[in-house]
Amino acid sequence: MLKIIIPSIMLLPLTWLSNNKNMWVNVTSYSFMISFLSVMILWQNDMNILNFSLLFSTDSLSSPLIILTTWLLPLMLLASQNHMKKESEQNKKVYVSMLVLLQILLIMTFSANELIMFYILFEATLIPTLIIITRWGNQTEQLNAGLYFLFYTLIGSIPLLIALIYIQNLTGTLNFLLFPLTFAPFNQTWSNNILWLACMMAFLI
């Protein structure tokens, strides 16, 4: 994952150190390079996990999501250049920085092994998303849209946090790699349906 995260982080100084004329070209071309580089993580067996550390890894489910995330950034840059044409150079660089930060947080979210780390990173993506919606939204109700987005997402994530705390108390860990080693299986009761609904609530909203 470091082969994707570190180049993505380097997009931030590239954005601010590029001159105003070549900023879009530099960032877009470099982000396309990261997109092509990310395709390499697809070449793994279905049941094998590429462990990067105790906290981050990829498998056959998270790899396509990470690749999709890296491909969205250059496409968003291409699509928004005309929309940002009348903005100041400072605002353009802030906008690109928010998109880059969103990509970094999403890559870390999809590759997180710890569920609580997944929750924190998932909620952290709200910050750049909220700034983009409220500052560069295309509709007049962009401030209200941003507030509704923040309100509904935070309310929906509270059951997820409660479910994670319950799972932590039941199994003693929230690490995907350690789940097979725990000796506290979930009881097959109706409460499992509530637990499943609580975990899915944040994503359904």
The CA-atom distances, in angstroms, between 9 and each of 13, 30, 34, 94, 97 are 8, 11, 11, 15, 10
SS3 81: coil
Residue 133 shares a structural domain with residue 42: no
Q: What average pLDDT score do residues 152-169 get? A: 86
Share in percent of the chain as helix, strand, coil (round to 5): 70, 5, 25
Residue 49 has a pLDDT of: 59
Task: Give first-to-last CA distance, the chain, whole Å.
Answer: 29
Residue 184 has a pLDDT of: 58
The CA-atom distances, in angstroms, between 33 and each of 7, 17, 62, 66 are 9, 19, 20, 14
Which residue spans within the chain are E strands per DSSP? 50-51, 57-58
Residue 57 has a pLDDT of: 81
Using the predicted structure, report yes or no on whether residue 183 has a pLDDT greater than 70. no
Among residues 78, 113, 148, which one ends one of the domains?
113
pLDDT band at residue 137, thresholds of 50, 70 and 90?
A: confident
Residue 49 shares a structural domain with residue 140: no
C-beta separation of 58 from 1 below 8 A: yes
pLDDT band at residue 61, thresholds of 50, 70 and 90?
A: confident
Residue 190 has a pLDDT of: 65
Sign, CA dihedral 58-60-62-66, equals: positive
Of 33-37, 40-44, 55-59, 166-170, the poorest mean pLDDT is in: 40-44
Q: pLDDT tens-digit profile of 88-136?
A: 899 999 999 999 999 999 999 998 888 899 999 989 998 999 898 888 8
C-beta separation of 37 from 29 below 8 A: no
Q: pLDDT tens-digit profile of 12-50?
A: 999 999 888 889 999 999 999 999 988 888 776 555 556
Predicted TM-score (pTM) of the model is 0.87
- Structural domain tally of the chain? 2
C-beta separation of 50 from 58 below 8 A: yes
The mean pLDDT value of the chain amounts to 84
Residue 35 shares a structural domain with residue 79: yes
Show the domain range for 200.
115-204
More confident residue, 198 or 67: 67
Among residues 66, 98, 113, which one ends one of the domains?
113
Distance CA 174, CA 16 (A): 38
193: CB partners within 8 A, 6+ apart: none
